[in-house]
Structure 1
Amino acid sequence: MKLNKINIAIMTALIGSSAASFSPLSYAETSTESHIDDAEVIAVVGYRKSLKQSQFLKQEATGTQESILSEDIGDFPDLNLAESLQRIPGVSISRDSGEGRQISLRGLGPNFTRTRLNGMEALFVTDSGIDQRGGASRTRDFDFSVFASELFNRVDVLKSYEAKQDEGGIAGTVDLYTAKPFDYDDEGWNGVFSAKGLYNDRNDSTDPRFAALVSNRWDNFGALFSAAYSTVDTIEEGYHVWSWKQASFGADNVADSVDAAVADRLINAEGTDRVFVPRANNIASWANTRERLGLTAAFQWQPADRLSMDLDLLYGELSNDRIENQLSTAGTNAFTGDVNKGQLLTDAEIHGDNLVYAQFDHLDLRTESKVSYSESTFTQLSLNTNYELSDRLVANLLLGYSDSDFDMPIHDKVFAEAADHTVSIDWRSGNHGHNNYDFDVTDESEWNLMRSDVREDSMDNSYGTAKLDLSYEVMDDHYLMFGVHYKEYESSGWERRNRVDWLNDPDAPDAVFQQTAIPVLSPYAIANNQATFERLEATGKISRSLDESHNRPGTVYDIEEDTLSLYAQYEWRSELLHYPVRGNIGVRWVETDQVSAGEVQLGADEFDFAEFNNDYTELLPSLNVVVDLNDDLLARLGLNRNLSRPGLNQLRAAAQVQVADQSINAGNPNLEPFIADSLDLSLEYYSDNLTASLAYFYKDMEGFIVQQSQTMAYKDTGYPLAFLDFDPRVTPQSEFTVSQPVNSEDAYVQGVELSLQFMFEFLPEPWNNLGFNGNLTYADGETTIYNEGQAHKVAPPGLSEWSNNVTLFYETNTYGVRVSSSHRDEFITGEGASQNIVAGYEETLFVDFKAHINLTDSLKISLEGTNLTDEAIVQFLDDRTQSYTQSGRNFILGVNYAF
Structure 2
Amino acid sequence: MRHLGYLAGASALALATAHPAAAQTSDAPPQSTTSDSADKAAAPAPDEVREIVVTGIRQSLERAAEIKRNADQVVDSIVSEDIGKFPDPTTAAALQRVPGVQVAVTQSNQIGNVKIRGLGDILTTLDGREIFSTTGRSFSLQDVPAAALARVDVIKTNTANLIEGGIAGIIDLQLHKPFDFDKPTVVLNGRGNYSVKADRLDPQLGFLATDTWSTGIGDIGALVNATWYKTHYNHPRTREGGPRSGASLGRPDVMVPIVAEGHSNHGYYERPQVNASLQWQPSDALQIYADGLYTGSRAEDEWSLSNAQFFISDETTMSDVETTDQCFTARVNQNGLNPREVVDRQGTADPGDDVQTLQPFTLNKVCNLKSATFRNAVSQQNTHSYYNKTDNYLGALGFKLDTDRVTVNGDVSYQNSHNIGEEILVATAQRIPELRYVSNQGDGLQLDTVGDNAYAQPDGLVIAQGLNQYFSRSKGDLFAAKLDSSFEIGDIMKSFDVGMRYAVRKAEFDQAVVQTPSPGGGSPSNPNAIRVVDAGLPDGFLSLLPSISGLNGGERSLVPDPGYLRSDEGRDAIRALFGAAAGDPDYQPQRHFDARETTFAAYAQVHYEVPLGSMTLDGTVGVRPTRTKRTINGFSAISIPATDDEPARTEIVPLSATTTDTDILPNASARLRFGGGLQARLAYSVAIRRPGFASLNPGLSYALAVNKNVLNSGSAGNPDLRPQKSENYDASLEYYFDKGFAAIAIYRHDLTDRVISSASAESIGGILYNISRPRNVGSARLQGVEISGQTFFDFLPGALSGFGAFGNFTYADTEVKGDDPLAGYPLQGVSKYNFNAGLLYEKYGLTARAVYTYRSRYYDGDLTGNVFLRAIDPDRADDTSYTPAVLNYVRPSGRLDFSLSYEVNDRIRLDVGGTNILGSHYYGYYNEKYLGNQYRYDDTTYTAGIRFAL
Q: TM-score range by the shorter chain?
A: 0.7 to 0.9
Alignment of 1:426-441 (within 5 A): 426-427=438-439, 429-438=441-450, 440-441=454-455
- The residue identity in structure 2 corresponding to 1:834 is N
Number of residue pairs matched? Answer: 817
2:533 counterpart of 1:482: no
Alignment of 1:249-264 (within 5 A): 253-255=248-250, 258=251, 263=252
Query: What does residue 352 of structure 1 align with?
Result: 327
The match for 2:409 is: 396
Measured in 2, the distance between the counterparts of 1:557 and 1:147 equals 28
The answer on 1:114 being equivalent to 2:164 is no
Please give the alpha-carbon distance, in whole angstroms, between the structure 1 residues aligned to 2:472 and 2:587: 14
Q: Provide the rounded CA distance (Å) in 2 between the counterparts of 1:632 and 1:743.
A: 45
Specify the SS of the correspondent of 2:824: strand
Q: Which residues of 2 match residues 70-149 of structure 1 at below 5 A?
A: 70-96=80-106, 97-108=108-119, 110=120, 112-124=121-133, 139-149=136-146
Q: Which residue of 2 aligns with 1:502?
A: 519
- The answer on whether the counterparts of 1:449 and 1:510 sit within 8 Å (CA) in structure 2 is no
Partner of 1:616: 661
Q: Give the C-alpha shift of residue 643 in structure 1.
A: 1.0
Partner secondary structure for residue 798 of structure 2: coil
CA contact under 8 A between 2:39 and 2:67: conserved in structure 1?
no
2: distance between equivalents of 1:626 and 1:414? 61
Residue 203 in structure 1 maps to residue 198 in structure 2: yes
SS class of match (2:489): strand
Could you say what secondary structure the match of 1:441 adopts?
helix
1:81–1:145 contact (8 Å) kept in structure 2: yes
Distance 1:658 1:876 in 2: 28
Structure with the larger RCO, 1 or 2 (CA within 8 Å, 6+ apart): 2
Partner residue in 1 for 2:475: 460
Please give the alpha-carbon distance, in whole angstroms, between the structure 2 residues aligned to 1:665 and 1:837. Answer: 20
**Cα offset for 1:461?**
2.4
Segment drifting more, 827-836 vs 286-295: 827-836
Q: Aligned residue for 2:546? A: 518
Partners of 1:457 and 1:625 lie apart in 2 by 49
1:321-356: per-residue Cα shift (whole Å, max 9, x none)?
1133211235xxx63xxx685544556547425653
Q: CA deviation at 1:807?
A: 1.5
Report the alpha carbon displacement of residue 544 of structure 1 after superposing the two structures with TM. 6.3
Is 2:862 the partner of 1:831? yes
The aligned counterpart of 2:877 is none
Could you report, residue by residue, the CA deviation over 1:768-823 in whole angstroms, capped at 9, with x for unpaired residues? Answer: 10001110000101004878xx6542111232100011120111141121111111
Q: Given that residues 630 and 659 in structure 2 are in contact (C-alpha distance below 8 angstroms), is that contact kept between their aligned partners in structure 1? A: yes
TM-score where L is the length of structure 1: 0.85
TM-aligned CA deviation for residue 466 of structure 1: 1.0
**1:700-711, aligned counterparts within 5 Å?**
700-710=750-760
Task: Report the Cα distance in structure 2 between the residues aligned to 1:664 and 1:795, rounded to whole angstroms.
Answer: 27
Cα distance in 2 for partners of 1:744, 1:167 equals 22
SS at match of 1:59: helix
Name which of 632, 655, 671 aligns with 2:677: 632
1:596 equivalent in alignment to 2:571: no
Q: Pick from 174, 177, 189: which aligns with 1:177?
A: 174
CA deviation vs aligned residue, 1:162-188 (integer Å, no higher than 9, x gap): 1111111112111111100000123xx
Aligned counterpart in structure 2 of residue 696 of structure 1, from 738, 743, 746 = 746
Identify which range, 282-291 or 210-219, moves more after superposition. 282-291
Q: Which residue of 1 aligns with 2:612?
A: 576
- Check whether the contact 1:244–1:278 (CA below 8 A) recurs between aligned residues: yes
Identical aligned residues as a percent: 24
Distance 1:459 1:117 in 2: 21
Q: Which residue of 1 aligns with 2:282?
A: 303
Which position in structure 2 is the counterpart of 1:757?
A: 790
- Please state whether the residue corresponding to 1:585 is helix, strand or coil: strand
Does the C-alpha gap of structure 1 residues 166 and 869 become closer, same or farther in structure 2, counting only changes over 3 Å?
A: same
What residue identity is the alignment partner of 1:435? L
| Residues 1:625 and 1:784: Cα distance change in structure 2 (over 3 Å) | closer
1:642 matched residue in structure 2: 687
TM-score normalised by structure 2 residue count:
0.81
Given that residues 497 and 546 in structure 1 are in contact (C-alpha distance below 8 angstroms), is that contact kept between their aligned partners in structure 2? no
**Is the counterpart of residue 59 in structure 1 residue 69 in structure 2?**
yes
1:677 aligns with 2:731: no
Trace 1:495-894 onto structure 2 (pairs within 5 A).
495-500=511-516, 501-503=518-520, 504=528, 509-511=535-537, 512=539, 514-521=542-549, 522=554, 523-529=556-562, 530=564, 533=571, 535-539=573-577, 541-543=579-581, 545-548=583-586, 555-603=591-639, 606-657=651-702, 659-660=704-705, 661-662=710-711, 663-710=713-760, 712=761, 717-720=762-765, 732=767, 736-784=769-817, 792-832=823-863, 834=866, 836-879=885-928, 880-894=931-945
Within-5 A mapping of 1:171-320: 171-186=168-183, 189-219=184-214, 220-241=219-240, 243-244=241-242, 247=244, 253-255=248-250, 258=251, 263=252, 278-320=257-299
1:443 aligns with 2:457: yes
CA displacement at 1:14 relative to structure 2: 8.4
Deviations 1:462-510 (A, max 9, x none): 2221111222222257111111111222222233232431233679724
SS in 1 for 2:92: helix
Once the two structures are TM-superposed, the CA of residue 33 in structure 1 deviates from its matched residue by 4.2
Letter in 2 for 1:597: N
Which deviations, in whole Å up to 9, do the C-alpha atoms of 1:194-222 show, x marking residues without a partner?
10011122222111100010001012110
Change (3 A) 1:420 1:98: closer
Q: Within 1, Cα distance between the matches of 2:739 and 2:500?
A: 43
**Alignment partners' CA distance in 2, 1:550 and 1:792:** 38
- Structure 2 CA distance, aligned partners of 1:649 and 1:549? 17
Amino acid at match of 2:293: L
- For 1:634 and 1:104, how far apart are their aligned partners in 2? 27
Distance 2:691 2:889 in 1: 20
- Secondary structure (helix, strand or coil) at the match of 1:58 reads helix
Over the aligned positions, Cα root-mean-square deviation in angstroms equals: 2.8
Give the AA of the match of 2:112: R
CA distance in 1, matches of 2:85, 2:805: 21
1:284 shift after superposition: 0.7
Amino acid at match of 1:872: H
Q: Does the 8 A contact of 1:785 with 1:791 survive in 2?
A: no
In the alignment, is the contact (CA less than 8 A) between 1:598 and 1:652 conserved in 2? Answer: yes
Deviation at 1:379, TM superposition (A): 0.8
Aligned equivalent of 2:152, options 152, 155, 173: 155
Unaligned runs of 5+ in 2: 1-27, 329-366, 521-527, 640-648, 868-884
Structure 1 stretch 232-241 or stretch 417-426: which is displaced more? 417-426
Asked if the contact 1:363–1:419 (Cα under 8 Å) also holds between the matched residues in 2, the reply is: yes
Find the residue that maps to 1:203 and give its secondary structure: coil
Give the drift of 1:428: 5.1
Further displaced range: 305-314 or 875-884: 875-884
Secondary structure, in 3 states, of the residue corresponding to 2:166?
coil
**Cα gap change, 1:291/1:506 in structure 2, threshold over 3 Å: closer, same or farther?**
closer
Conserved 8 A contact 1:62-1:582: no
Q: Call closer, same or farther: CA 1:609–1:178 in 2, change over 3 Å.
A: same
For residues 212-243 of structure 1, the C-alpha deviation after alignment (integer angstroms, 9 at most, x for no partner) is 100010121100000001111110011125x5
How far 1:688 moved relative to its partner?
1.6
The one-letter code of the counterpart of 1:536 is: I
Where does 1:13-28 land on structure 2 (aligned, <5 Å)?
A: 13=39, 16-17=42-43, 26-27=44-45
Distance 1:304 1:3, change over 3 A: farther
Tell me: CA distance 1:323–1:42, structure 2 relative to 1, closer, same or farther (3 Å). closer
Is the 2:637–2:701 Cα contact (8 Å) retained in structure 1?
A: no
